[in-house]
Structure 1
Amino acid sequence: MTGFLSSISSVVVIVLIMLLGYILRRQGWFADSFAGNISKLITQIALPASIFISVQNNLTRDSLVNLFENLLVPFIGVVISYIIAVILVKIIKVQVGRRGVFINTVANANTIFIGMPLNVALFGNKAMPYFLVYYIINTVSTWAFGVFLIQSDDPELIEEEKKEHKIEWKKLLPMPLVGFIVAIIWPLTGLKLPTFASQTFTYVGNLVTPLSLIYIGIVLADSGIKNVRIDKDSLFALIGRFIVAPAIMILLVRFCAPAIHLPMPALMDKTFIVQSGTPALAVLPVLANEAHGDVDYATNVVVLSTLLFIVVVPILMVIAG
């Protein structure tokens, strides 16, 4: 019951911050250019800072070695999710500008803002090492590959390539990915991050979630909240997030891992299942905007997946046991 209330609380917080952005935009507090300014601030400054400091806080060379064996199951789960998402994109003919968001919705989860508090409420701090395993895979997946897919799905970029027959690699190396690469390399240098730098990255990085949610509220105000609907692309993305991804993880932890005699403690089993069914990343509309993609579609997916999570979480809790 505590876990369910925690998940409801997380969803309410998200909805309220979205609502704040919606109301302030409707009241004329934000100029037409404000959403674009927020988008640039998040992707160029706040996200790289957030990614860098979160990796420094949660990843070390020693922890990677200790957790390496446990990384296999969520890694395979994410890879299979990507494969299924790409196949679905081809089958249902997801249009350019939506494809990167669609694939990310199926493969990558909101592990920090919703997943972590839910996991602590359900299983306590003793499950934190297993949460970090999933977090590592989700972080690498999102910022080393997922963001690349959104950038490469840029309709303007694709049109340019068709005309000039060349790939603009600089446009395909977004700042969040640069932040992630630097974050992975930094621990290898053996240098300790100064306290003032760590605090600066933390404060700036903490802007990501609230600003992303305010941005979603602004988009909803501009497009009309009545336009939040489940179209074909949204429906299949939600099926992928809440049915396909958890089903893959259940098969892996309950059947495949035991079959190959891979150690799978009960808490790890439960943690992986719960995390695989958390909503889409709140930052997707911002990333879509920077890649000239379908921001309304990305907003649709984030809002719907967040609201549907209220229904999904009790089911996940029952399955996880």
Structure 2
Amino acid sequence: MTALSTSIQSVLTIVLLIVVGYVLRRQGRFDDQFGKTISDLLMKIALPASIFISVLQRLTLDKLVSLSSGLVYGFGAVILGYLIAFLLVWLLKVRPGRRGTFINMFVNANTIFIGLPLNLALFGDKAVPYFLMYYVVNTVSTWTVGAFIMAWDDPTQKKSEKSSTGFNWKKLLPAPLVGFLVALVFLLLKIPFIHVGWLSFVVNALDYVGSLVTPLSLIYIGIILADAGLKAIRFDRDTIVALIGRFVIAPALIAGLILLGMHAGFNVPGLEAQTLIIQAAAPGLAVLPILATEAHADVEYATNVVTTSTVLFVVVVPILMMLVQGLA
């Protein structure tokens, strides 16, 4: 009951923030440029700050080393997820502008805002190291391959233009990824940035700026819904398949790899297996509409899959918990 209550509370919080953006936009309090302003603020400032400070606060080099064996399952599932998603894009002929979002839905999840509180409610503090393991996988995947695919799926840019304009390093190194890479350097060099007393004002500033990411992303979703109308929430073919990828294929892949590992003689603690499977099924990234906006992609589709996956997660959690109980 605690897990179900936590998932419902998390979803209601998200819905409430989306409603705020929706209502204020409908009332005309947000002008046409406000959404673009939010997008720029998040992508260029808030997200890099959030990722940088989150990595330093939640991880240490020792933790990374101790969790390295489990990272194999996470990255293995991510690679398989990308392959399956690309195959389905080709088979289903998903149109340009939706492909990046479609692929990301199969692989990358909303681990922090929903995944972390739910994980604590389900498994307690003992499972936090395993959550951090999936957090690393999800962060690396999102801001390397995931973000690059979103930028690549720009329907306004023709193939000839993509090949003739040369390589765009900004697409390979988006600001959020730079924030993650800088944080990794700090970890590897064991720079005690967040523990230096006289730098606490910088840490606090980064923390405050980083905390803008989730609420502003959700308000942005509300703005998009207001512009598109609630009719934009629908279950078309691409949405249904993306939701199957998020709630069925993603957790099934990591569960399959864990079972293969156990069959091969590699011991996987039950708590680790449960954590990885639950996290793999978390809703779509709240920042997908932001990434879609940056890539001139189908923002309404991105908004639709994020909104529907978030609401449906309330139903998915109890089902998944029943399925993973045997791994304890």
Taking structure 2 as the reference length, the TM-score comes to 0.94
C-alpha distance in 2 between matches for 1:165 and 1:44: 23
Note the C-alpha offset of 1:163: 7.1
8 Å Cα contact 2:134/2:279 also seen in 1: yes
The alignment status of 1:243 with 2:267, answered yes or no, reads no
Tell me which moved more, 170-179 or 259-268. 170-179
Structure 1 residue corresponding to 2:274, chosen from 253, 270, 276: 270
What is the aligned partner in structure 2 of residue 311 from structure 1? Answer: 315
1:287-306 equivalences under 5 Å are: 287-306=291-310
With 173-182 and 259-268 compared, the bigger mean Cα shift is at 173-182
Q: What percentage of aligned pairs have identical amino acids?
A: 55
Letter in 1 for 2:145: F
Q: Which residue of 1 aligns with 2:230?
A: 225
Candidates 258, 264, 270, aligned match of 1:260: 264
Q: Say whether the 8 Å CA contact 2:97–2:155 is kept in structure 1.
A: yes
Q: Is the 8 A contact 2:8 2:314 kept in 1?
A: yes
Question: Is residue 205 from structure 1 mapped to residue 210 from structure 2 by the alignment?
Answer: yes
SS in 2 for 1:122: helix
When structure 1 is superposed on structure 2, of 24-33 and 161-170 the one drifting more is 161-170
Maintained 8 Å contact 2:143/2:174:
no
Q: Give the secondary structure class of the aligned counterpart of 2:67.
A: helix
Question: Using a 3 Å threshold, how does the CA distance of structure 1 residues 16 and 62 change in structure 2: closer, same or farther?
Answer: same
Matched, 1:182 2:182: yes
Range with bigger deviation, 295-304 or 267-276: 267-276
Rounded to whole Å, the distance in 2 between the matches of 1:10 and 1:160 is 45
- Tell me the SS of whatever aligns to 1:12: helix
| CA separation of 1:156 and 1:172: change in aligned 2, threshold 3 A | farther
Closer, same or farther in 2 for the Cα pair 1:72/1:220, shift >3 Å? same
2:283 to 279, 282, 293: 279
For the 8 Å contact 2:20–2:219, the answer to whether it is kept is yes
Asked whether the equivalents of residues 144 and 180 of structure 1 are also in contact (C-alpha less than 8 Å), the reply is no
Cα 1:173/1:154, change in 2 over 3 Å: farther
Aligned counterparts of 1:167 and 1:136: Cα–Cα separation in 2: 27
Number of residue pairs matched by the alignment: 320
CA distance 1:315–1:34, change in 2 (3 Å)? same
Residue 185 of structure 1: how far off its partner (Å):
1.7
Letter in 2 for 1:198: V
CA distance in structure 2 between the aligned counterparts of 1:163 and 1:263, rounded to whole angstroms: 47
Structure 1 stretch displaced more, 187-196 or 116-125 = 187-196
- Mapped pair 1:121 → 2:121: yes
Give 1:66 deviation, angstroms.
1.0
Match of 2:6 in 1: 6
Partner of 1:85: 85
2:196 maps to which residue? none
Native 8 Å contact 2:119 2:127 kept in 1: yes
Where does structure 2 lack aligned partners over 5 or more consecutive residues? 194-198
Contact 1:161 1:167 survives alignment (8 Å): no
After superposition, residues 115-154 of structure 1 pair within 5 angstroms as: 115-154=115-154
Structure 1 CA distance, aligned partners of 2:322 and 2:141? 27
Deviation of 1:121 (Å): 0.5
Supply the RMSD in Å over aligned alpha carbons: 1.4
Q: 1: CA distance between counterparts of 2:24 and 2:50?
A: 26
Q: Secondary structure at the match of 2:156?
A: helix
Map Cα deviations across residues 133-183 of structure 1 (whole Å, 9 max, x no partner): 111111111112211111121223445625736333334432112222222
Distance 1:310 1:201 in 2: 32
| 1:312, distance to aligned residue in structure 2 (A) | 0.7
* CA–CA separation in structure 2 for the residues paired with 1:142 and 1:150: 10
How far off its partner does 1:113 sit?
A: 0.6
**1:85 shift after superposition:** 0.7
SS in 1 for 2:297: coil
| Structure 1 letter corresponding to 2:235 | I
C-alpha contact (below 8 Å) 1:151/1:174 kept by paired residues: no
CA distance in 2, matches of 1:162, 1:85: 22
The separation in 1 between residues aligned to 2:150 and 2:121, in whole angstroms, is: 33
Paired letter, 2:262: P
- Matches of 1:189 and 1:291, distance apart in 2: 35
